[in-house]
Structure 1
Amino acid sequence: MKATIIYDNTTIRADLIADWGFACYIETGRNKILFDTGGNGKILLQNMRSLDINLYKIDTVFISHNHFDHIGGLSAFLNENPDVTLYAPNSLRGIKHAKKVILIEQAQKLEDGLYTTGELEGIEQSMAVQTEKGLVLVVGCSHPDMANILSAASQFGDIYAIIGGLHGFDQYDLFEEFQLICPAHCTQHKAEIKNIYPGKYIEGGVGKMIEL
């Protein structure tokens, strides 16, 4: 599995554009997945071009929640590539142009090696990807209680890593068993997480690639 952050508040390269929001491109043995779409379609597509990501090969879109900084680039992407299966939380309606839209309520297996926590607390779903080392949990903003997110994901296996926005998360002991922690976007306590888990912490930002 390879994950590339393509939309974030910070960037690791001068030719990439930072902006408030989050999106991650994930390649597995079966799928090429766009997780969230950031807040601006032009920025999303420009960063994908700069990172040599072929948007026309993406077959799956996963939307975590209905906030502008995660769905703002969706229309622009679908205008270019509507030939995708799109997994959206049940609260997000009115999606147009996607070949297939599946609204998610409950935790479930989506495809081999790909899982959702379900839409927790009526606001957000997270995605889990199976790797040889364990599950990689990709989160948008972690609006639901982190304990609930981890409980829902853990039914599909042991969590190896977490990538994405953690908002005001400060229950640091919940990450003790994780081997990789990559906070991004809205995470408020990056310094504290890095201080507690220096050997597991990876700084995010547009252009960051994580390969497992």
Structure 2
Amino acid sequence: MQVKITNVYTNKGQKELHLKGAWGNSFLIEYPDDKILFDLGWKGKIFLQNLTHLGHSPNEISSVVFSHGHRDHTGSLPLFLKNRTITKPLSIYGHPSMTEPKKQKILGPIQLNMTYPNMDQIDPNKYQVHLNTDPVEIHDKLWTTGEILKRKEKDGTKKGLIHKINNTWKRDPLLDDLSLILEAKEGLIIIGGCMHAGLLNTIEHVHDQFKASGKKISTIIGGTHLFTSSPEDIDAIMQKIENKYQIEHFYLNHCTGTNAQTKFKEKFGSERVSSCPVGTQLSFEI
């Protein structure tokens, strides 16, 4: 059985295909009998335009999995639900802390609201929320990583990313960050929204999660939160990936950053490393 993965929303669009880019990420995972979305991007109108141009409808989607609660990955949810006209509720999967208040400090007192969207104006019968810290099988051979607590390497958190806990704003450890894993015949496919848990930490977590099966990680897709990493840190990350995991393919976008993408191509070659703009389609046999 073939599973198709299509990028629906990310920073880089493709104007010639009438696909717009905006900050955020969203992937469509398409089975012969089902369609699942991983994140929805920030701007609902752009997301829905891209989804339509790619030949899909909100009514065809059974489930949405959120990588974490930040608005650039969840913001399109209210408009997406308003455009669903079927009675069957949408299943929403994520971590228990994804809906907590979140902000990003920008300059001085300026803070950007990054909280999961307010759902007060949405009919609660339109969706069902499933929150879990453990890995969840969303569809055949499609899993969430669950919570990634083991973070020996640098992660993608920073002082400017804060959350409200016990009525106090503190640095956000982003425990809600998760990725998806597709068990393909060629190996494990990791799909990241942002990988705030850290690229190496996510890879190590997935390696441990599937250690008993003997399956190796073959492909990384999506955001890896390396855009604030130093050249030295990126070099070290690439070396560890090559020494321990020998990952064959990278399709990088969003918060990976252009510098990191360039360095990955220089290190691993353009046959192994590609950008992943809106409209990118990849197929895997499971």
**What's the TM-score, normalizing by structure 2?**
0.69
Which position in structure 1 is the counterpart of 2:111? none
**What's the TM-score, normalizing by structure 1?**
0.91
Are residues 1:102 and 2:108 paired?
A: no
What do residues 68-104 of structure 1 show as CA deviations (whole Å, max 9, x unaligned)?
A: 1101111111222373221111112376645321102
| Residue type of the alignment partner of 2:247 | F
Are residues 1:86 and 2:92 paired?
A: yes
Are residues 1:49 and 2:52 paired?
A: yes
Find 1:159's aligned residue among 189, 213, 217.
217
Are residues 1:112 and 2:140 paired?
A: yes
**Using the alignment, how far apart are the partners of 2:140 and 2:12 within structure 1?**
33
Structure 1 runs not aligned, ≥5 long: none
Which position in structure 1 is the counterpart of 2:252? 183
Contact 1:126/1:137 (<8 A) preserved? yes
Which position in structure 1 is the counterpart of 2:186? 133
**Using the alignment, how far apart are the partners of 1:6 and 1:185 within structure 2?**
12
Are residues 1:172 and 2:238 paired?
A: yes
**Using the alignment, how far apart are the partners of 2:216 and 2:193 within structure 1?**
20
RMSD between aligned residues: 2.0
Please state how far the C-alpha of 1:12 moved relative to its aligned partner.
2.9
Identity of aligned residues (%): 31
Find 2:200's aligned residue among 147, 157, 179.
147
- More divergent stretch after superposition (62-71 vs 157-166): 157-166
Contact 2:198/2:224 (<8 A) preserved? no
Contact 1:13/1:207 (<8 A) preserved? no
Are residues 1:123 and 2:160 paired?
A: no
- More divergent stretch after superposition (34-43 vs 175-184): 175-184
**Using the alignment, how far apart are the partners of 2:83 and 2:240 within structure 1?**
40
**Using the alignment, how far apart are the partners of 1:183 and 1:175 within structure 2?**
15
Q: What's the secondary structure of 2:55's corresponding residue? A: coil
- More divergent stretch after superposition (109-118 vs 89-98): 89-98
Evaluate the alpha carbon distance shift between residue 28 and residue 151 of structure 1 in structure 2; reply closer, same or farther with a 3 A threshold: farther
**Using the alignment, how far apart are the partners of 1:161 and 1:35 within structure 2?**
17
Evaluate the alpha carbon distance shift between residue 175 and residue 77 of structure 1 in structure 2; reply closer, same or farther with a 3 A threshold: farther
Find 2:76's aligned residue among 60, 73, 76.
73
Q: What's the secondary structure of 1:118's corresponding residue? A: coil
The number of residues matched between the two structures is 212
Evaluate the alpha carbon distance shift between residue 172 and residue 30 of structure 1 in structure 2; reply closer, same or farther with a 3 A threshold: farther
